[in-house]
Amino acid sequence: MKQLAPIAFTVGDYLIGAAIGVVTAIVVRLAISPGLDMVIGMLVGTAIGLIVQALLGLILSPVLGLMETMVPGMLIGMYGGMLFGMRDSMGAGSRTLLAAAAVGALFGVIVVLGVKIYDRCLRGIVLDAT
Amino acid sequence: MDSATQRKWDEASRTYDFFTFGEDRRLGQHKQRLFSKARGETLLVAAGTGNDFKFFPPGMHITGIDISPQMIERARRKAASYSGRIDLAVKDACNLDIPDSSFDTIVTVFTFCSVPRPIVGLKELHRVLKPDGQLLMMEHVRSAFGPLGVMMDLLTPLSRRLGPELNRDTIGNVQKAGFRLRRVENAYLDVVKIIEAVHATAPEVKNEAGVIS
């Protein structure tokens, strides 16, 4: 039973990462039309990602932990929103909403994986003068 | 007493247990390991609703303080189930009406992300800690990783309204307040840190290899 909790947290981390990616991708797709200035698309996408991650983070962080939800959420929401905004302003790739959502989910999962690897690298003693 | 901060945490006390449910379970083992180093008269700063009492070894005498009367009221119920003695009081970490050199150990958990004047608060802890005492902290700080650190800076004006600041340099603040770092450990990325410190004037010790620290 003791092993279940960390596994549940790990699964939860990937699920929330995918969820933030999907919601960000969908909202950005709905808000940004092809032909919009790419810089404006990027800024709008970033702002949307920021709001999405803050809202989803607020709802889900009580279950998964504030920092563990917020840190990958910030990276997915803001940088994902920026990239999705640039893409959608150019009308490039992911022609359907479903495809855009799938790319959002993939982006979220990859960022969570990256954060977990980075955490493994950083975790541990950085100073010991005892 | 900082009444604005007091009001903010009185408000937060209603939902505090809900919002810290996951964090307690993820970081609980780190807290337990850190708290096992507590010895003698112990001060827990920003005790909140008392969620961390269960991580202390049994049989200790702990003084728990918080700026919020509502938090302390909720903490009383949890203090009753601790197998030791916990005294609770409403106090501002920046203005402790406690005599100098009163405690052997001072413990903080995610406290100095929220104290409005962190260096003033840490200097107060320095004052009430005995010269051979120890400061044990678990704190979240600004990440040194550029893209993440920038986002923490951007989100801090928002997070400050709800509770903590995300971009504090708590390790630097600990040193500015007159402490010497004894041990620092990353518990999650370089964001959640376990910090152990002593008075900067505390005698240095030689380890087995004869290295002075």
- For A39-91, write each residue's pLDDT tens digit: 999 999 999 999 999 899 888 888 888 889 999 999 999 999 999 999 999 99
Rounded percentage of chain B residues whose pLDDT exceeds 70: 95
Smallest CA–CA separation between A85 and chain B, in Å? Answer: 18
A118: in domain: no
Check which CATH number belongs to the domain holding B79 and give it: 3.40.50.150
What pLDDT is attached to residue A94? 84
* Total domains, chain B: 1
Which class for B100: exposed (0-12), middle (13-18), buried (19 or more C-beta within 10 A)?
exposed
> Which chain A residue has the Cα nearest residue B25?
A65
B204: in domain: no
Look at residues B175, B174, B157, B173 and name the one whose alpha carbon lies nearest to residue B165.
Answer: B157
SS3 at position A92? coil
A107: in domain: yes
What is the C-alpha separation between B120 and B129, in angstroms, rounded? 14
B119: in domain: yes
Residue A30, phi-psi category: left (phi > 0), alpha (psi -120 to 50), beta (remainder): alpha
What is the C-alpha separation between A66 and A90, in angstroms, rounded? 35
A128: in domain: no
* Total domains, chain A: 1
- Residues near B70 by Cβ (< 8 Å), separated by ≥ 6? B9, B10, B13, B14
B177: in domain: yes
- For residue A79, the chain B residues in CB contact (below 8 A) are 147
B43: in domain: yes
- For residue A121, the chain B residues in CB contact (below 8 A) are none
B92: in domain: yes
Please say whether the beta carbons of B125 and B45 come within 8 A: yes
B19: in domain: yes
**pLDDT band per the 50, 70, 90 thresholds, residue A18:** very high
HEC states along A7-64?
HHHHHHHHHHHHHHHHHHHHHHHHHCCCCCCHHHHHHHHHHHHHHHHHHHHHHHHHHH
What is the C-alpha separation between B73 and B125, in angstroms, rounded? 23
Residue A32, phi-psi category: left (phi > 0), alpha (psi -120 to 50), beta (remainder): beta
B212: in domain: no
ipTM: 0.84
What is the C-alpha separation between A61 and B152, in angstroms, rounded? 16
B207: in domain: no
Sign of dihedral through CA atoms A40, A41, A44, A46? negative
> What does the pLDDT look like over B17-44, one tens digit per residue?
988 888 888 999 999 999 999 999 999 9
- Residues near B176 by Cβ (< 8 Å), separated by ≥ 6? B119, B122
> What does the pLDDT look like over B43-102, one tens digit per residue?
999 999 999 999 999 999 999 999 999 999 999 999 999 999 999 999 999 999 999 999
Q: Which domain holds residue A46?
A: 4-113
Q: Which domain holds residue B18?
A: 3-199
Per-residue pLDDT, averaged over A106-118, amounts to 97
The chain B residues in contact with chain A (CB within 8 A) are: 18-23, 25-27, 140, 143, 145, 147-148, 151-152, 154-155, 158, 180-192, 196, 205, 207, 213
What pLDDT is attached to residue A5? 64
